[in-house]
Structure 1
Amino acid sequence: MNADGSAAAAAARAALAGPLPRRWAHARGVARRARTLAVGLPPADAATLVAAAWLHDVGYAPTVARTGFHPLDGARYAHDLGFPDRVAHLVAYHSAAAVKADLLGLTDQMAEFCDEQTLVRDLLWYADMSTDPSGRPVSFDARMAEVRRRRADDPVAVAALDLGMPARRAAWERAEAWLRSGAGQRPRASRV
């Protein structure tokens, strides 16, 4: 796996850029954020984080969607493309996806993957939750409010948001603590 995530970027671009340009903008923003966070990680973790950031929403793409649950579809796609298992696991479980999988009755299918519950996972969630749909940086509260507004007509999505909020907030706080500790240096933003 390449450290700059170019293979993952190409896969995400091919799936998202044409049919879902706003989702593609979000993926680019999340990858940009992940690159800045990755500077403080060991090289293998950095490459994994960046690849997972590029691919985290690829399951929304019409050519990728199978179950209609984007984390699961994206993880299977990443696996089928030959990305390391760890990337697929991170895609499957990004941003409290296990909660919605449970509500949708997909827990058994999600068992193909595992939630590693590491700093890398927290940083992926942080990158996702600090990037709005247009790819711009946003606060945790603003992002959660935006998701709630956008999904207001989907009771399962709203329930999953509410039930997953403690896990999301905890991951955000762990990522922020890591950044404050100096381990995650805040370099200038990279271009995606």
Structure 2
Amino acid sequence: MTVVEEARELAERFVTPLGRRWAHVQQVAFKAVSVSEAVTDEKRDALVAAAWLHDVGYAPDINYTAFHPLDGARYLREQGWQAEIVNLVAHHSGARFEAAERGLTRELSEFPFEDSPVLDALVTADLTTGPGGEQMTYDERIAEILKRYPPDDPVHRTWVKAAPILKEAVRRTEERLARAQPK
């Protein structure tokens, strides 16, 4: 079984019971495949596996801190997943900003942050997919998040700060994809 197949199987086990989040995860994984030309060939499996696994930390069995990137990464590390995949899950979609809002920066620092094309592509896949798997633009997705969470919620405060920075990750992915297209 490939790492992507293992990731899909684990995600299905943990995320299916969470309702529409499973539709989101499936579409993020499919989107990761579609943006995978923005990364090198040897990084594509890590990207797609991380896309499948990015929300496993929401599963009640492993959700200890109520901060899903940290909980998911800790679980995956304990299970022996590749460090690159674990770190992508830990830092997906601006987790460092939310960790600061929640007072969990030290805990998240257990996982090295690498600003890379792979992380940019994962951000793109996640933040252009709605909570129920809908295709959205980045701006639509951020507006949806800000509407869903009240202004005093750490998630809302996170996106007020993180949105312009992560928009650049999406832009970089789009530029890499454009360069990868045959002329």
TM-score range, shorter chain: over 0.9
Distance 1:93 1:168 in 2: 12
Deviations 1:95-144 (A, max 9, x none): 11101101111111111101110100000000000111121211011111
Is 1:73 aligned with 2:65? Answer: no
Deviations 1:13-43 (A, max 9, x none): 111102x021111000000000122245433
Work out the percentage of aligned pairs sharing the same amino acid: 38
TM-score by length of 2: 0.93
| 2:39–2:117 Cα contact (<8 Å) kept | no
Q: CA deviation at 1:54?
A: 0.5
| 1:41–1:184 Cα contact (<8 Å) kept | no
Q: 2:9 aligns to what?
A: 10
**C-alpha distance 142-81 of structure 1, shift in aligned 2 (>3 A):** same
Q: 1:190 aligns to what?
A: none
Deviations 1:23-74 (A, max 9, x none): 1110000000001222454333001000100011111111120111001001
Distance 1:104 1:89 in 2: 19
Task: Provide the aligned length of Structure 1 versus Structure 2.
Answer: 182
Q: 1:108 aligns to what?
A: 106
| 1:40–1:184 Cα contact (<8 Å) kept | no
Distance 1:157 1:10 in 2: 28
Q: How well do the aligned residues superpose, as a CA RMSD in angstroms? A: 1.6
Q: Please, which of 141, 144, 155 is the counterpart of residue 157 of structure 1?
A: 155
Q: CA deviation at 1:157?
A: 1.2
Which amino acid is 2:12 matched to?
R
Distance 1:32 1:144 in 2: 20
Which amino acid is 1:2 matched to?
T
Is 1:88 aligned with 2:72? Answer: no
Q: 1:61 aligns to what?
A: 59
Q: CA deviation at 1:179?
A: 1.4
| 2:91–2:113 Cα contact (<8 Å) kept | yes
Distance 1:23 1:154 in 2: 23
Deviations 1:141-165 (A, max 9, x none): 1111111112126521111011111
**C-alpha distance 39-2 of structure 1, shift in aligned 2 (>3 A):** farther
More helix per residue: 1 or 2? 2
**C-alpha distance 107-184 of structure 1, shift in aligned 2 (>3 A):** farther
